[in-house]
Structure 1
Amino acid sequence: MNQSRQNLKRIAIWQPYFMGGGAEAVSLWIMEALAPHYNVTLFTLNFIDFSQLDTLYNTHLTHQNITIHPLLPRSIDTQWINALIANSPQIRFALIHWSIRAFKALTADSDLVFSTYNAVDMGQPGLQYLHWVHVVDPQPKDNKGWNRLIMNLSGFSLEKLKQNQSVANSFYTADRIKAEYGINSRVIYPPVITEMEKRPWEEKEDAFLCSGRIVAAKQTHRVIEILQAVRDRGFDVKLHITGGGGGTYKRSYEQKIQGLADKNSDWIQIYQDLPYKDYLQVLARCRYGIHSKPEPFGISVAEMVKAGMIPFVRDKGGQVEIVGAHHEELLFDNKNATAVEKIVQVLQQRDRQMALLESLKKQQSLFSTEKFISEIQAVVAEYFQN
């Protein structure tokens, strides 16, 4: 390490694993923002390959001066650990708290500790970026038995968690943070790529995009049901489903969705683990988006807006901030029939489509990688000034 970098402040980042999804994207782009200006060390359970993650998330970390500190021995198979994390909540919880214990022991002399994986007691006050509440610490009613035993392993303190400065991924999440922890947080929307091809509406496919991990929580099956009903109303729309990030998750649901796609191959296509540049091509081709799960934020919905699509989303959650609460005709409740009616109303009105596209342009400026980088850099700079 050269002399100039030796003099930089040392930031220790805690992100226990990388298995695909928006939280991992935030962690990677936080490192993108900080690495040029600080000595950054990433503490994670397994060794990770920045070149592979750069391909998936369009980051440039391979060429940054970042130290990766895996907490588990390199000899332990990463896929095996990821499978345990994905399929066993108890083992995932235990590994998370074991990694917190190790992180505390290794970072006492850091200038800043930074959790990019939600609220956590890091042994000293620091920064924490929250994607949701009670992820690392269980709800009070669940804080017993196994959970209490494991939290004792890391010496977890709710009071120390509350001493951190908090950043939230949406105002929706910030409200929940205030309600659950009694602490304020600064909202910094996750990074959304701006390098997108903007095709004219006439050149796009009459197709919907459903983007994100193919897991039951994302309700991919509901998206298929909704669009099948739209097709039954006489609209020959297609559906492109993109699985996210290359994570290891329960396969039964994924197989169920693949089976539905195979039966309806004339209008459904699934893309798994696309490199980001290929994912952007799919984004550019679709006129519409659909997202059935209420999200704390919903980075895939923000990507849809940035790409010049018309997204239909649930009427509660952070994705409402992305689309804009005033676009009521794009928000549907938990009934499939409501979603079908709202989609049909927009599909049959060309003038309304054009008006929505123009109005949605105002939402695009809320999200970019550049805005995210500058806001993260500002939060860290202010932390060191205080």
Structure 2
Amino acid sequence: MARVAVLHNTLDFNGGADAVCLHVCEALQAAHDVTLFTISETSLSALNELFGTDAAVTVETLPGTGPLARLLARVDDWRGPQLAFRSVLLDRWFRRRAAAFDLAVSTANEFALPVPSVQYVHFPQFNGHVAGPDGVHGGGVADRVWTRMAGLDDRRLPADATLLANSTYTADHVVARYGRGASVVHPPVDPIPGEPWADRERGVVTVGRIAPDNRTLDAIRAVDGVRERGYDLHLHLVGSAAEAYRSYVDRVEAAVAAREHVTLERSVPRTRLEALLGSHRYGLNPKRGEHFGMALAEYVAAGMVPFAHDSGGQRDVVDGAEDRLFGTVTEATERLVAAIEADARPRLPPDRFAVDRFHERIRTAVDDRLAGR
């Protein structure tokens, strides 16, 4: 049994990266002594209920995490998520404890860690000024500062780090920034029981935190467009609403209140989420440049017809099907209308991203790294 540290900068956004963290803990806890290091207020029990996981590991939080997390949440509302900053704090803190561990597993992207590691990259968090294969780049002065403080301004990751990526899109960006390949391990999503197609409601479900980057309002506009074409389609928005996005949440709530065909449910139990997915025909993900798309993968798992913005790792999830991808809100409307008119059915198997497969690949990566392979 090895001593394994799992590093995750924050669990307060309740997104797909946080689900991966919980699943990694669950995958490793039976065979290893696992400690989760995070700068997060959210409890493990709350996340287990949200993600349907059973993680039961030791949790270490940075002293003063509560006030710090609340301060960062207020900053996030007008400056966006400060994830790189959080990661730098986490890295500095963990280094003082690293000697007590045989291996570190990052579920919050890349680090220059002082111990052997397995690093799961949702999207590179440092060296944002380096353009990826699609020309995407970002960052400015802050990015260069955090990159330097993270010890990665030379664009070299530790030689004893095993790199994993959530999609081919992300893996290509890892190569562009660091010149190192990453094995693609799609995030875990088990099949979700559903009703027969004929019994399903002609409705759309959009799952994900209510946030500007998730473009929740675009989902409303797309369904509005379908209804303007004469089809009685309704929309369920399901997702948590972090305090960091309060101003955007207010806009979404106002849009929902003005429409009888749109409902919003926040922080629903897993049973309710699965009931919605299993009883509706269509799933819509309007986020652009999604690095993978956990909600989109859940639409597949529930036997829905999934639609997503034609960018990022979402192409992996729908297996590159052009009639399931769109570039604009108008195109999203057109894809939905075409599916309704053709009575389009699901094409992908519900077990495409099975949890057991993910857990096994994580355990193998950790065991191989511990063995020096």
Q: Report the TM-score when normalising by structure 2.
A: 0.90
- Kindly name which structure, 1 or 2, has the bigger radius of gyration based on alpha carbons: 1
Q: Distance in 1 between matches of 2:139 and 2:197?
A: 52
- Offset at 1:87? 4.7
Report sequence identity in percent.
28
Once the two structures are superposed, the pairs formed by residues 173-188 of structure 1 within 5 Å of their partners are: 173-188=170-185
CA distance in 2, matches of 1:314, 1:153: 34
Quick check: 2:162–2:365 contact (8 Å CA) kept in 1? Answer: no
Cα offset, 1:378, TM superposition: 0.9
- Report matched runs for 1:1-386 at 5 Å: 8-19=1-12, 20-46=14-40, 48-61=42-55, 64=56, 66-73=57-64, 76=67, 78-85=69-76, 87-88=78-79, 93-133=84-124, 135-139=125-129, 145-151=141-147, 153-156=149-152, 158-159=154-155, 161-163=157-159, 164-194=161-191, 196-244=192-240, 247-264=242-259, 266-294=260-288, 295-325=290-320, 327-333=321-327, 335-350=328-343, 353=344, 356-357=345-346, 359-361=347-349, 364-386=350-372
Q: 2:134 corresponds to which residue?
A: none
The CA deviation at 1:94 is 3.6
In the alignment, is the contact (CA less than 8 A) between 2:222 and 2:329 conserved in 1?
Answer: yes
- Asked whether the equivalents of residues 47 and 69 of structure 1 are also in contact (C-alpha less than 8 Å), the reply is no
In the alignment, is the contact (CA less than 8 A) between 1:104 and 1:123 conserved in 2?
yes
How far did 1:203 drift? Answer: 1.7
Structure 1 ranges of 4+ moved more than 6 A: 141-144
CA distance in 1: counterparts of 2:227 and 2:149, whole angstroms: 53
For this pair of structures, how many residues does the alignment match?
363
The 3-state SS of whatever aligns with 2:99 is: coil
Post-superposition CA distance 1:74-131 (Å, at most 9, x none)? 6647544544455545965444312211111211231101111011112334111000
Per-residue Cα deviation, 1:129-166 (whole angstroms, up to 9, x for no partner): 00012x24543597775555555555555455253211
Deviation of the 1:267 alpha carbon: 0.4
Structure 1: how far apart are the matches of 2:62 and 2:142? 22
2:63 is paired with a residue whose SS is: coil
Instruction: Report the more deviating stretch, 207-216 or 25-34.
Output: 207-216
Change in 2 beyond 3 A, CA 1:282/1:154: same
Whether contact under 8 Å (2:102, 2:115) holds in the other structure is: no
Q: Is contact 2:9–2:83 with CA below 8 Å preserved after alignment?
A: no
Deviations 1:230-286 (A, max 9, x none): 111110000000114x6332211111111111000x200001111222211111121
**Contact 2:10–2:39 at 8 Å: present in 1 too?**
yes
Give the secondary structure class of the aligned counterpart of 1:193. Answer: coil
CA 1:101 to 1:158, structure 2 compared with 1: closer, same or farther past 3 Å?
A: farther
- Asked if the contact 1:96–1:136 (Cα under 8 Å) also holds between the matched residues in 2, the reply is no
Partner of 1:108, secondary structure, is helix
Distance 1:76 1:252, change over 3 A: closer
In structure 2, the gaps of 5 or more residues are: 131-136
Secondary structure class of the residue paired with 1:249 = helix
In structure 2, C-alpha distance between the alignment counterparts of 1:46 and 1:292, rounded to whole Å: 27
> Following the alignment from structure 1 to structure 2, what is the Cα–Cα distance between the partners of residues 340 and 121?
44
More divergent stretch after superposition (270-279 vs 93-102) = 93-102
- Give the aligned residue type for 2:265: Y
Give SS of 2:95's match.
Answer: helix
Given the two structures, how large is their TM-score scaled by the length of structure 1? 0.87
Q: Is the 8 A contact 1:209 1:286 kept in 2?
A: yes
1:164-183: per-residue Cα shift (whole Å, max 9, x none)?
21100011211121122111
Q: Is contact 1:84–1:92 with CA below 8 Å preserved after alignment?
A: no
CA contact (8 A) 2:127 2:155 kept: no
Please list the CA deviations of residues 56-79 of structure 1 after superposition, one character each: whole Å capped at 9, or x if unmatched.
Answer: 111112xx3x22111123664754
Deviates more, 1:71-80 or 1:173-182: 71-80
**Structure 1 vs Structure 2 CA RMSD:** 2.3
